[in-house]
A and B are shown apart, each in its own frame.
Chain A
């Protein structure tokens, strides 16, 4: 295990922040350009994971275990969110026979 942790020792914290920012932006772009509700949902998952990685990196950087416990709570929340969200998508599909989010434009001004 010692040689695995040695490989990380020369990576600056900035590069972790940069990686998380890039993946978070990819998630935002995915939400904006896709019309399939399930793919939009997967982009949200991508954003959640970027934040998880950043929290873990900061937790290791500061030597504080609370960050990793918080990631654990975020994962529990993500599991609950996916269950409810996919149930809503199934219900939408049953009513409109598609998962295209442009069909649901009734709230549009």
Chain B
């Protein structure tokens, strides 16, 4: 039980560091740590497939993409002048209001039951694969089209334009 609260504390701590770090490279590194704590959460919930996918896709692929873009843009000295402190204060107050609203709605509900894993192999690859390829076969195929079009779009956007054609 205390494992969950410790990991939850780490998640909140590192995600706060992500948005308050001055240097964007530090932000990316803290975001990797945040995703690692999320992986531990998935392991605690016995969602092993999601833990592995989170580890490979988020920490492996997406974060490397962020770091590569940051390397290409050469942003590590951070020319960001920073917003006016009143704008920052307004942003923090707006986010705090959202949090208070969500927590207040949660307090109105009754005391919840503990999360109990009834079926121990719920999150295993075998079980999820059966569900994915029976009920969700069409969305799965459509997501492959989505990934293909995203790949084509990314290459098209990031390519340099030739000015001679006009």
Task: List the interface of chain A (C-beta within 8 A of B).
Answer: 1-2, 4-5, 7-19, 21-30, 32-36, 38-39, 41-43, 45-46, 49, 52-53, 56-57, 59-61, 63, 65-66, 68-69, 71-73, 75-84, 86-91, 93-94, 98-100
Known A-B contacts A35-B80, A45-B62, A91-B157; the reply to A69 vs B118 at CB < 8 A is no
The residues of A that contact B73 with a CB separation of less than 8 Å are 38, 89-90, 93, 99
Query: 9 additional contacts, CB 8 Å, given A80-B146, A80-B150?
Result: A12-B111, A13-B112, A22-B12, A36-B80, A60-B117, A65-B123, A66-B131, A80-B147, A90-B69
The answer on a CB contact under 8 Å between B112 and A14 is yes
Main secondary structure of the interface of A (DSSP, over half): helix
Main secondary structure of the interface of B (DSSP, over half): helix
Task: List the interface of chain B (C-beta within 8 A of A).
Answer: 1, 3-5, 8, 11-12, 15-16, 18-19, 24, 27-28, 31, 34-35, 38, 41-47, 49-50, 53-54, 57-58, 61-62, 65-66, 69-70, 72-73, 75, 78-83, 87-88, 90-92, 94-96, 98-99, 102-103, 106, 109, 111-120, 122-123, 127-128, 131-132, 135-136, 139, 143, 146-147, 149-151, 153-155, 157-158, 160
